[in-house]
Amino acid sequence: MKDKIITNSSEWTMPLLQRFDSEIGRIADAFGLDCYSNQLEVISAEQMIDAYASVGLPISYFHWSYGKQFETTRARYESGRMGLAYEMVINSSPCIAYLMEENTMAMQVLVIAHACYGHNSFFKGNYMFREWTDASAIVDYMVFAKDYILQCEDQHGVDEVEQVLDSCHALITHGVNRYVRPPALSKAEEKLRQKDREVALQKQVNHLWVTISQASEKDVLEQEETKFPVEPEENLLYFIEKNSPILEPWQREVVRIVRKIAQYFYPQKQTKVMNEGWACFWHYTIFTELHAQGLINDGFMLEFFDIHSRVLRQADFNNPAYSGINPYTLGYAMMTDIRRICETPTEEDQRWFPDLVGSDWQQSLDFAMRNFKDESFILQYLSPKVIRDLKLFTVVDDERLDHVRVSSIHDEQGYQQIRADLASEYSLNRTEPNIQVTNVALRGDRSLTLQHTQVDGRPMSDNTHDMLKHVHQLWGFKVVLNSADLNGEVSNTYVSIEPESSPP
């Protein structure tokens, strides 16, 4: 047995990385993980900070906000307030993973198992990623975006471009088609289309904003009745790109670029728990397997347990270190529990998960990974055992009362409710206000009307006026936001103030 151990050293080398990867690949294959091919990049701490700054994308256009992110990360890292992630992985094909040079051998192996096989197979399998992103095109697209924005800066000046980008970045959370996925394009196609698009798009907008109407009085009156947009539009950036009366063709393209990038990150936001849970489950399973096959020694395994348990630490709600539910913990607990239910079900599981009990755990887990996002995954799979293990409870915070109330705890009556409550915390409406474009005064003052639909009676935040400035900047005319409850009763109205410097 002993001679099978790959290394006894904690120093990593390139050949050792290769060796471990082929072993892990073999194990992953045996478990049926379907992955993109892998590309590992060994980087220094400083480069990792760079990678943080551009949200992991290997290439991006220039913008001050990335500089801000860089400075923040560097300051925190250098003052010892935060450690850097051991790895970062990009949803691309081939799947690019960054390894920090200062990691030990065990950490590097953990990263390979976690990122190159865990996250990688999730990117390839999960329906959100399959539908909304195009792994083979993203790096190409970013090259196109960077080139295009550089070119715009040459032609129109850095400040002009920055102004547009600032406003687009502000609306980035509302620059996604939540329900329908637009087709993805690669760099070459994008370039070809981009020229045509400039012309076509402008034509379309011009058509919308004809000022010299040859119609008779009666027609005008009729037209005022017509509503635009016909259906409310949730993707503000898309609506602005297509319909803003003031943007020039290049500005529309910039809006589009930001929108495309938002679209790319959209699935990641909604699958954090699943994605991390899946990756943790597999790094754990793979390490156990490596140890069982006698490829790593006990010390190696102990170091792994140490890192693993630190990653999965969940502070209690009343602990000063508490900052929300750790997605790694929740995801790992749920993934592990699915396997447990399949293999060694209890009487309780028989009642809660009749379909899972006795099924092949690999198939069931694979199904769960492919067909859900956090919200639906929790709603479907959060088991009473996990609720008990984490001792979850729900409190209701109603602003009309001066106290908060515990509404459910981990008992027979509470499981269903906690499951529904936790799932709703991961819904987009909970994390981001639901805002839609409802009307444009086509023949009037050209003002844009947005509607906020309050969920749980939550109002808009204080900075809403600042936000409307950005919308105004891109729209060019007055912007009104009505904040209404579920019955459509408007409780608050915000009107944009003219931005200081008007766009060109």
Contacts (CB under 8 A) with other proteins, residues 398-417: 398-400, 402-411, 413-414
Question: Which listed residue (104, 143, 162, 181) binds other proteins by CB under 8 A?
Answer: 162
Geometric angle at alpha carbon 340, from 392 and 312, rounded to 5°: 50
Least distance CB 495 / other proteins (angstroms): 16
Q: Is 463 in the site for other proteins (CB under 8 A)?
A: yes
Contact 495, 468 (CB under 8 A): yes
Least distance CB 119 / other proteins (angstroms): 15
Q: Is 247 in the site for other proteins (CB under 8 A)?
A: no
Question: Which listed residue (2, 11, 14, 309) binds other proteins by CB under 8 A?
Answer: 14
Region near other proteins per CB under 8 A, out of 3-11, 69-77, 350-358, 472-480? 69-77
- Short-list 53, 77, 56, CA closest to 67: 53
Q: Is 425 in the site for other proteins (CB under 8 A)?
A: yes
Q: Is 209 in the site for other proteins (CB under 8 A)?
A: no
Q: Is 487 in the site for other proteins (CB under 8 A)?
A: no
The nearer residue to other proteins, 70 or 265, going by C-beta atoms, is 70
The nearer residue to other proteins, 209 or 317, going by C-beta atoms, is 317
Contact 128, 271 (CB under 8 A): yes
Question: Which listed residue (31, 70, 77, 265) binds other proteins by CB under 8 A?
Answer: 70
Question: Residue 279 contacts by C-beta under 8 Å, 6 or more apart in sequence?
Answer: 114, 115, 118, 119, 122
Q: CA-to-CA distance for 32 and 29, rounded, in angstroms?
A: 5
Q: Is 55 in the site for other proteins (CB under 8 A)?
A: no
The nearer residue to other proteins, 318 or 501, going by C-beta atoms, is 318
Question: Which listed residue (6, 31, 38, 268) binds other proteins by CB under 8 A?
Answer: 38
Q: CA-to-CA distance for 483 and 234, rounded, in angstroms?
A: 15
Least distance CB 425 / other proteins (angstroms): 5
Q: Is 63 in the site for other proteins (CB under 8 A)?
A: yes
CA atoms within 13 A on the CB side of 7: 19
The nearer residue to other proteins, 412 or 445, going by C-beta atoms, is 412
Q: Is 17 in the site for other proteins (CB under 8 A)?
A: yes
Cα→Cα distances 472→27, 79, 378, 499, Å? 55, 40, 39, 7
Question: Which listed residue (65, 206, 293, 363) binds other proteins by CB under 8 A?
Answer: 65
Locate 279 and state its tokens.
């990756």
DSSP H or E segment with residue 472: helix 464-475
Least distance CB 354 / other proteins (angstroms): 25
Region near other proteins per CB under 8 A, out of 208-216, 257-265, 301-309, 462-470? 462-470
Question: Which listed residue (390, 474, 479, 480) binds other proteins by CB under 8 A?
Answer: 390
DSSP H or E segment with residue 98: strand 95-100
Within residues 312-371, the interface with other proteins by CB under 8 A covers 314-319, 323-325
Binding marks (x or -) toward other proteins, 115..144, rule CB under 8 A? Answer: -x----------------------------
Locate 273 and state its tokens.
């728990």
Do the bridges between strand 448-453 and strand 490-495 make them parallel or antiparallel, or are there none, so unpaired? unpaired
Size, binding site for other proteins by CB under 8 A: 101
- Short-list 3, 26, 21, 9, CA closest to 295: 3
**Cα-to-chain-centroid distance, residue 42:** 25
Q: Is 273 in the site for other proteins (CB under 8 A)?
A: no
H helix runs in 214-322, sequence order? 217-225, 236-243, 249-270, 272-292, 298-311
Least distance CB 498 / other proteins (angstroms): 18
Count the neighbouring beta carbons within 10 Å of the beta carbon of residue 58: 16
Question: Which listed residue (29, 34, 46, 154) binds other proteins by CB under 8 A?
Answer: 46
Least distance CB 426 / other proteins (angstroms): 8
Contact 251, 153 (CB under 8 A): no
Neighbouring-strand partners of residue 89: 97
Residue whose tokens read 């994308």: 57
Q: CA-to-CA distance for 19 and 26, rounded, in angstroms?
A: 11
Contact 348, 295 (CB under 8 A): no
Question: Which listed residue (114, 174, 242, 283) binds other proteins by CB under 8 A?
Answer: 174
The nearer residue to other proteins, 14 or 212, going by C-beta atoms, is 14
The nearer residue to other proteins, 372 or 426, going by C-beta atoms, is 426
The nearer residue to other proteins, 23 or 190, going by C-beta atoms, is 23
SS3 208: helix
Least distance CB 136 / other proteins (angstroms): 15
The nearer residue to other proteins, 38 or 202, going by C-beta atoms, is 38
Least distance CB 81 / other proteins (angstroms): 7
The nearer residue to other proteins, 346 or 427, going by C-beta atoms, is 427
What is the DSSP annotation of 10-52?
A: S---HHHHHHHHHHHHHHHHHTT---PPEEEEEE-HHHHHHHH
Contact 282, 328 (CB under 8 A): no
Q: CA-to-CA distance for 368 and 383, rounded, in angstroms?
A: 14
